[in-house]
Amino acid sequence: MTGPLVAERPIGAPPAEGARRGRFSHALGNGVVALAIGAAAVYAHTFAMDKDKLDAPLTSHAAAGGVAVTGRFSARLEKVVAARSLRLLTTSTDPETGRVTIKKSGRVGTQDVFIVVTIGATSPGDPTRLDDAWLRTADGVEYAATDRVGPAFTLPHRPVQNGWWVDVVFVFEIPPEALAGASIVVSAPSSNGIYDTIYPNRYNQLLPEAELPISADRAAARRLLDDVKTSWQLAAEE
């Protein structure tokens, strides 16, 4: 018994028209896929972040007078004062009469200007602290809070808790010309426990921080400096 007859193409004869179209369509499809993959790779590369961006904290911004909301705390600007000097008072309060007595008084001055910033803060959940703050200028220069005023006068370790707002004070010593367009940045501490002791700052990426404008432009900075105080008082309870 013989099988079905199959037409055979002679050796050396060109392929049928349908076969040529099929091969061309297959090659064209592969080319389109390759171009699409290449284009996607180039497009994705434009979103690649360098190490500095990967290690950067998560910054929440607020408009003037607004609230910056992060996952661990919310912050708002309560008051900004410029001063030429600071009067530091250590006081005690009589628990029976409520009378306040000044135990110690000191004064610090500067050739630049002190910027005293009061931040209000609250937490949506677990208590936290706003230990770290710096003043960021319009061109990206950052000033740490001055160490000429002890923490007893600014209370940076005061717990920020759920349900109410607490005030924390930060003092910066900066050149007057750095004030225009500046903002204050506050950050919650890392919660990596012992690893922060072993590897300082290694696990700081993605920490939440809030950036609050303190002078939107030169005009705002000029108004603040025109109202500069000869002396501003900060008190600490003994």
Q: How confident is the model at residue 204 (pLDDT cuts 50, 70, 90)?
A: low
In this predicted structure, the answer to whether residue 199 has a pLDDT above a threshold of 90 is no
Query: How many CB atoms within 10 Å of residue 21?
Result: 11
For the stretch 49-94, pLDDT in tens is 554 554 556 788 888 888 999 989 999 999 999 999 999 999 999 8
Q: Give the pLDDT confidence score for residue 35 in this predicted structure.
A: 57
User: Both tokens of residue 99?
Assistant: 């009378």
Q: Which CATH architecture has domain 51-192+206-237?
A: Sandwich (2.60)
Q: How many helices and strands, by DSSP H and E, does the chain display?
A: 5, 10
Q: What is the mean pLDDT of the chain?
A: 80
Considering only the C-alpha atoms of the chain, give the largest distance between any 2 of them, rounded to a whole number of Å: 124
Q: Domain residues of the chain, as ranges?
A: 17-48, 51-192+206-237
Closest CA relative to residue 151, chosen from 88, 209, 77, 82: 88
**Long-range pairs of 137-144 with CB within 8 A, sequence gap ≥ 24:** 137/174, 137/178, 137/181, 137/182, 138/180, 138/181, 138/182, 141/178, 142/185, 143/172, 143/173, 143/174, 143/178, 144/172
* Stretch (H or E) spanning 36: helix 17-45
Q: Give the pLDDT confidence score for residue 15 in this predicted structure.
A: 57
DSSP string, 122-159: E-SSS-B---EEEEE-TTS-EEEPPSSS-HHHH-TTS-
Determine the Cα angle at 133 with ends 185 and 55, to 5°: 70
Question: Global pTM?
Answer: 0.71
Q: Please, which residues have CB within 8 angstroms of residue 15's CB and are 6 or more apart in sequence?
A: 9, 23
For the stretch 137-175, pLDDT in tens is 999 999 999 999 998 898 877 899 999 999 999 999 999
Sole residue written with tokens 């006081």: 91
The Cα–Cα gap between 58 and 154 comes to 25
Strands of 183-187's sheet in order across: 58-61, 208-213, 183-187, 132-136, 142-144
Average pLDDT over residues 113-118: 96
CA 139 vs CA 101, 130, 183, 213: distances in Å: 45, 24, 11, 14
Please count the CA atoms within 13 angstroms of the CA of 67 that sit on its side-chain side: 11
